[in-house]
Amino acid sequence: MDHRRRRLRGNESARREYGTHSLAGLEVHEVGAGGEPGILRPTRASSQARRVDRPLLDITGLGCYDKPDVPKWYNDLDEAPRWEVQARFWEAVAGVCSHSPAVFCYDLMNEPVLTEDKKMRDWTPGAFGDRYFVQRLTLDFAGRTQQEIAKAWVEKLVAAIRKHDSRHLITVGAIPWAMVWPNAKPLFYSKEVSANLDFVSVHFYPKSGEVDKALTALAVYQIGKPVVIEEMFPLSCSVEELDQFIEGSCARNLASGWIGFYWGKTIAECKAEKESMADAIVLRWREYFDQKTPDILAQKQSRKD
């Protein structure tokens, strides 16, 4: 299991879904399962998809982040049997987690993309460092549109979850391509694809000097569903600029929730182990995010009043 921890701030849609649960200040653990040999089997789900009861879980499935550890049999599958394995995975997870109050949502896959690769058959293109966060849904469009493929995939996996779990939220953590191409339209949150997704989940890492560009890209995802910024971190900008992005998304009512990315260390651990500029940035980010919670909640409450 790949474990990444994030913090969730002020998600109004989830607060409605869970009634008295307040998400502000609670940890959200992203439990990512996928390519390791013990997680997926060709014909059955592993028992490693077992009960987890920690508030709150953003369960992100099917990750193949560590390419050398992805089973060969899984990479050798064509689209249809690969989707079958993915559906079995989600059915097993939902069967275990359906009654758990610790689950915030199921994220079907981290940053799926629709591009072809008939020759090299590479399901996980584009490394970020030594990890592979992006994953193809198919290697061959076979005359279908991107929307048709994405719709069929979402419907299949949602149906697998809904066999056992009718209550928890389902989403897809998407790359906001409007940050790259200003005229880009959402794929997974298009009218054709998004019907069975409960809220919009997007990942934002604004570049320095491009806060307004990021807010413009975020506005593309206003489709009548709550928007959660499921990932953000000052990777290519300052903490102050990311604060401007958060403030702008709140002031313009472009988001209902904000989840900050980090690798699981507490503030105390960051302080104790601070050795590099990268460590210092993570510490600054963690301290900022903890301090930001009251501001976000106050702004949300003032809009209600």
> Across the chain, what does the average pLDDT equal?
83
Sequence-separated (6 or more) residues with CB below 8 Å from residue 31: 1, 3, 52, 57, 58, 59, 60
**pLDDT tens column, 111-133:** 999 999 999 999 999 889 889 99
Sequence-separated (6 or more) residues with CB below 8 Å from residue 250: 296, 299, 300
pLDDT at res. 274: 65
Confidence band of 299 (pLDDT split at 50, 70, 90): confident
What DSSP element (H or E) covers 204? strand 200-204
pLDDT at res. 300: 67
Instruction: Say if residue 32's pLDDT is above 90.
Output: no
Instruction: Say if residue 182's pLDDT is above 70.
Output: yes
pTM of the entire structure?
A: 0.85
Cis peptide leading into residue 218 (ω within 30°): no
pLDDT at res. 229: 94
User: Cα(168)–Cα(162) distance, rounded to whole angstroms?
Assistant: 9
**pLDDT tens column, 249-290:** 999 999 998 988 877 778 888 888 767 888 888 899 989 988
Q: What is the 3-state secondary structure (H, E, C) of 7-25?
A: EEECCHHHHHHCCCCCCCC
**pLDDT tens column, 55-106:** 578 999 998 988 999 999 999 999 999 999 999 999 999 999 999 988 999 9
Domains of the chain, each with CATH number or no CATH: 2-264 (3.20.20)
Instruction: Say if residue 245's pLDDT is above 80.
Output: yes
pLDDT at res. 304: 66
- Residue in 189, 263, 227 with CA at minimum distance from that of residue 12: 227
**pLDDT tens column, 191-219:** 999 999 999 999 999 999 999 999 999 99
3-class DSSP state of 63: strand
Contact 92, 49 (CB under 8 A): yes
Instruction: Say if residue 41's pLDDT is above 50.
Output: no
Q: Which DSSP letter does residue 68 get?
A: G
Count of Cβ atoms closer than 10 Å to residue 32 Cβ? 23
pLDDT at res. 268: 87
